[in-house]
């Protein structure tokens, strides 16, 4: 049972590892399904719009993700403890 799970795990991760060309091909296909013929200016605008929307969604997701704060404790010249967080 465990070996089956370990064999299937890479299949779950692979879709998240698309190259830019694969991503653009997917957008081209989507635009063609909508009705924009391949190689036309309308198809190009559609692909650019889908790509831009995906980039915006990624930026929104990144901005909403919780940030980890790292703190470091040091002593100054007088021996007082100073905590610096970033």
Domain assignment present for 44: yes
Does residue 11 surpass a pLDDT of 90?
A: no
Is the Cβ–Cβ distance between 54 and 46 less than 8 Å?
A: no
Q: What is the DSSP string of 31-49?
A: HHHHTPPTTSHHHHHHHHH
User: Could you list the residue range(s) of the whole structural domain that residue 27 is in?
Assistant: 18-49
Domain assignment present for 36: yes
pTM for the complete prediction? 0.56
pLDDT at 22: 94
**β-strand partners of 75:** 81
Domain assignment present for 35: yes
Overall number of domains in the chain: 1
Structure tokens at 65: 């993700």
pLDDT at 31: 95
Domain assignment present for 83: no
Cβ neighbour number for residue 23 with a 10 Å cutoff: 14
User: What percentage of residues in the chain have a pLDDT greater than 90?
Assistant: 45
Domain assignment present for 33: yes
């Amino acid at each position: 049972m465990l070996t089956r799970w370990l064999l299937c795990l890479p299949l779950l991760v692979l879709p998240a590892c698309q190259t830019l060309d694969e991503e653009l091909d997917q957008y081209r296909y989507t635009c063609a399904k909508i009705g924009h013929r391949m190689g036309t200016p309308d198809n190009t605008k559609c692909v650019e719009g889908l790509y831009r929307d995906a980039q915006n969604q990624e930026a929104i997701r990144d901005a909403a993700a919780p940030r980890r704060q790292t703190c470091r404790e040091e002593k100054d010249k007088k021996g007082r403890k100073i905590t610096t967080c970033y």
